[in-house]
Amino acid sequence: MTVITETEKSLYLATADADVARVITDALPDIYDVTHYGDIAQLQVALEQQTADLVLCHQLLLDGNADQQISHLKKLCPQARILIIGPPQPIPVQIAALKQGARGYFNQNMPMNKLQDALRLISNGEVWVERHVISTLIDEISHFPEVNEQQRRAAATLSPKELEVAKMVSHGATNKMIARNMDITERTVKAHLTTIFQKMGLPDRLSLAIVFRDLR
């Protein structure tokens, strides 16, 4: 039997706390090649010189100018997936991070093994935020372009099960919640989502949720 191993990913970690950096680094598997930077300036210089697959930035480094700093990081390395980590934050703070290009906000009070789940999700093009944050974001984005005719035709090609999955995503449901509601496995939910993304020409879960918000 052929064993498929995950490709090594470069991860730039920005935090001023060396102890936090050590805890995070020790919690991650070997597929992550972690480079630690003590402040935003160091991180920016690194991204100007070489790209990274993932950027994990502590929220405390962004205080006072978070929106502009996240946006600038994204411009320096458009292909990098950015995850902000830090203490619990209000919904508006998490939404602002998403709007500027971050792929999620990780509550540092959660078990460190969950960080692996978060990094894997954003690596696969999804977002890592609590369900109510996604729902609030979807409701808030009133400037988002209306669904075009091509997307409406693509939506009509979805199977009944794919359509059901898409509608539940638009209400902020997680894969686990969808699987339980439809009495299917999470693997099947992921397979449905992959097909939906392909048919709809959408890059990720959040885009799907926004489109089906407007189709409702």
pLDDT averaged over every residue in the chain: 84
For 82-120, write each residue's pLDDT tens digit.
999 999 888 777 877 887 889 889 999 989 889 999 999
Distances in whole angstroms, Cα of residue 26 to Cα of each of 23, 74, 84, 142, 164: 5, 26, 18, 42, 40
Q: DSSP state, 62? A: G
d(CA 135, CA 28): 30
% the chain with pLDDT above 90 = 40
% the chain with pLDDT above 70 = 88
The domains found in the chain, sorted by start residue, are 9-129 (3.40.50.2300), 143-215 (1.10.10.10)
Phi, psi of 82 (to 5 degrees): -100, 130
pLDDT at 8 over 50: yes
Between residues 161 and 74, the one the model is more confident about: 161
What is the CB neighbour count within 10 angstroms for residue 137?
Answer: 21
d(CA 200, CA 108): 34
| Residue position matching structure tokens 């991204």 | 47
Q: What is the pLDDT of residue 18?
A: 93
CB 90 within 8 A of CB 101: no
Q: Provide mean pLDDT across the span 153-162.
A: 92
**Nearest one of 187, 97, 174 to 131, comparing CA atoms:** 174
